[in-house]
Amino acid sequence: MKRIFSDGLKGIIAAQTTISHIDGQEGVLIYRGYEIGELKDLSFEEVAFLLWYGHLPTMADAVDIKYKLSKLRFLTPTMKEILHTLPVEMDMMSVLRTVISSLGGSEYGWKPTIEQAMRLTAVIPTIIAYRFNMNMKKPFIEPDPRLNHVENYLYMLSGNNPSKAVAGALETYMVLTLEHGMNASAFSARVTASTESDLVSAITSAIGTMKGPLHGGAPSGVIDLLNEIGTAEKAESVIRRKLLKGEKLMGFGHRVYKTHDPRAVALRNTLLENKGDNQSLDLALYVEKKAIELLAEIKPGRSLYTNVEFYAAAIMKSINLPSDLFTPTFTASRIVGWTAHVMEQAANNTIYRPQSKYIGKRNC
C-alpha cells in the first residue's frame, strides 16, 4: 500500500459520512442533504433530530423530541457534588469535561444510542448554568420543562424568560453550529469511539479538543476587536493599522471556506431580519463592510471574508452573554454533531490507526 505523509492529516479522507458536507469553494454547508440556509428557522430540537435520525421530524416527532430533551436536563446529586468540589478558578470547559466524564457507567455501554446522545445534549446547558450561578454566588435556577432547549438555557443563566428576539438569535447560532464535518473535536470523538469505548468517553475527548484556542476560542478575539474599534468613525483607521502591522483580523478568513462562510451569511440574514434598534449590531455590520474592503485592498487575491465566529460574537455580545460562556455555548450546540459522528462510527467501525514517520536517530 502506498504510504502518504500529510502533516495534521490535511487533505486525507478518513471516513465516509452522511451527516454533513462542506464545499469550501462554493461556500456550501449541508446537514443530511439540506443546505443550512434552509434550516436556520427550525428549532434546535428539530435540527438535532435531523442529525441524529437522518430525516426531518414530523410534527409528532418534533413534539416528542422536545418533551424528551426537557425531561433529561436534570443534574444528579453526584454531578452537583462534583460541581461544588472543583476548584473555583477552574475554567468552564474543564468543568464541563469533568462533569460529563462522571456520567460514564453501565447505561453508557457500547454501542452508543440516540437516548444517550439526548441525555448528554440535554444536560450540558444545565451544567454550564449551575456552575455559572455558583461562581456568581447566585442560587441555582431549576430547568423549566415548558421552555424549549435554547430558551431554557438562557432562563437558567439569568432567571428571566428571554425575549423572542434574544432566544431566536441564539437558537439560529446554535442550529448553524451543530455540526461541521471532520473537524478536530469530531475526529477525536470518532477516534475514541473507534476503540469501542463508550459515548461519554468519546464526548469527553471531544470537549478536551474543543477547549483549545485553535478550535473553539475565536469569538472572544472578535469581541476584543469590536471593543477596540468602539465607534464606526474609528473602524477604518483601527483595521488599516492592524493590517499594515501584519496582524490578523479576528472573525475573517477560514481554512476551508475560500468564499463567504454560509453560516456567517445565514446568521447575518437572521440578524438583519430581527435587528431592531441594536447599536452593537450596527457597529458589527459596519466593521464587516470596512474590513472586507480593506482586506481586498491590503491582502488582494487572498479571498478573505467574514467567518461564523464574527457573527457568533456579534450575537453573543448583543444578547449580553459573558465571553467566558462563548466556547461552552458552542459546545452546547456541537454536542449534537459529535454524538451523530460517534453513532455513525459505531455503526460501521474500523479502529483508527495512522502511522508516524520515524525521523529520529538510529544507533543500530
Q: Which three cell numbers stand for residue 263?
A: 453560516
- Shortest distance (Å) from residue 86 CB to ligand COA: 29
* Coil, strand or helix at 246: coil
Q: Going by DSSP bridges, is the β-strand pair 20-23/34-35 parallel, antiparallel, or unpaired? A: unpaired
Please say which residue, 211 or 254, places its beta carbon nearer to ligand COA: 254
Q: Which residues are catalytic?
A: 254, 309
Instruction: State which residue has the least CB distance to ligand COA.
Output: 253
Give the residue from 288, 329, 324 showing the smallest Cα distance to 306.
288
Q: Which three cell numbers stand for residue 299?
A: 491582502
Please say which residue, 154 or 250, places its beta carbon nearer to ligand COA: 250
254 binds ligand COA (CB under 6 A): yes
- Shortest distance (Å) from residue 358 CB to ligand COA: 28
* Among the listed residues 84, 138, 146, 302, the single contact to ligand COA using CB under 6 A: 302
22 binds ligand COA (CB under 6 A): no
DSSP, residue by residue, 270-303? HHHHT--S-HHHHHHHHHHHHHHHHHHHHSTTS-
Q: Which three cell numbers stand for residue 112?
A: 452508543
- Shortest distance (Å) from residue 355 CB to ligand COA: 25
* Coil, strand or helix at 241: helix
| Order of all β-strands in the sheet with 34-35 | 20-23, 28-31, 34-35
The answer to whether residues 133 and 140 touch, using CB atoms and an 8 Å cutoff, is yes
Q: Select from 193-201, 304-312, 315-323, 337-345 the region that touches ligand COA (CB under 6 A).
A: 304-312
- Shortest distance (Å) from residue 3 CB to ligand COA: 25
* Among the listed residues 218, 313, 316, 343, the single contact to ligand COA using CB under 6 A: 218
248 binds ligand COA (CB under 6 A): yes
Residue found under cell 413534539: 63
281 binds ligand COA (CB under 6 A): no
Instruction: Name which of residues 225 to 244 contact ligand COA (CB under 6 A).
Output: 243
CA distance 261 to 257: 6
262 binds ligand COA (CB under 6 A): no
- Shortest distance (Å) from residue 174 CB to ligand COA: 16
260 binds ligand COA (CB under 6 A): no
Residues 166-205: x/- map of binding to ligand COA (CB under 6 A)?
----------------------------------------
CA distance 94 to 82: 12
Residue found under cell 409528532: 60
Residue 223: in which H helix or E strand, if any? helix 218-229
Please say which residue, 149 or 242, places its beta carbon nearer to ligand COA: 242
Q: How many residues bind ligand COA (CB under 6 A)?
A: 16
10 binds ligand COA (CB under 6 A): no
- Shortest distance (Å) from residue 217 CB to ligand COA: 9
* Beta strands, E only, the chain: 20-23, 28-31, 34-35
252 binds ligand COA (CB under 6 A): yes
263 binds ligand COA (CB under 6 A): no
* Cα torsion angle, 79, 85, 88, 90, sign: negative
β-partners of residue 252 are 306
341 binds ligand COA (CB under 6 A): no
Give the residue from 176, 142, 148 showing the smallest Cα distance to 162.
148
Task: Note the residues at the interface with ligand COA (CB under 6 A).
Answer: 218, 243, 248-255, 299, 302, 304, 307-309
